[in-house]
Amino acid sequence: MNEVLPVKVAKNSFARAMLAVAWSFLGIRKNSGFAEDAAKVSPLHVLLVGLVSGLMFVIGLILVVNWVVAK
């Protein structure tokens, strides 16, 4: 009676990974949205998008600080 049904995994989407990482940066997301992302997004995509986004964030902060200090 307790058979495990196969879960249909949708095609991985790089854009969906970008949205998932953006929600993570904001820190707000419904649990159902997180579960949906976990089922549909490749961990490799999330890792790549997270690293690039984090790098862009740090570079942006450095540029803003240099701009403010220069004035």
Domain residues for 48?
14-70
Could you give the 3-state DSSP secondary structure of residue 22? Answer: helix
Q: Please report whether residue 3 resides in a domain.
A: no
Torsion from C-alpha of 16, 32, 47, 64, nearest 10 degrees: 80
How confident is the model at residue 55, as a pLDDT? 96
**Residue 5 forms part of a structural domain:** no
User: How many domains does the chain divide into?
Assistant: 1
Q: Supply the mean pLDDT for the chain.
A: 81
Cβ atoms of 48 and 19 within 8 Å: the answer is no
pTM flag (> 0.75): no
* High-pLDDT (> 70) share of the chain, %: 83
Percent of the chain with pLDDT over 90: 34
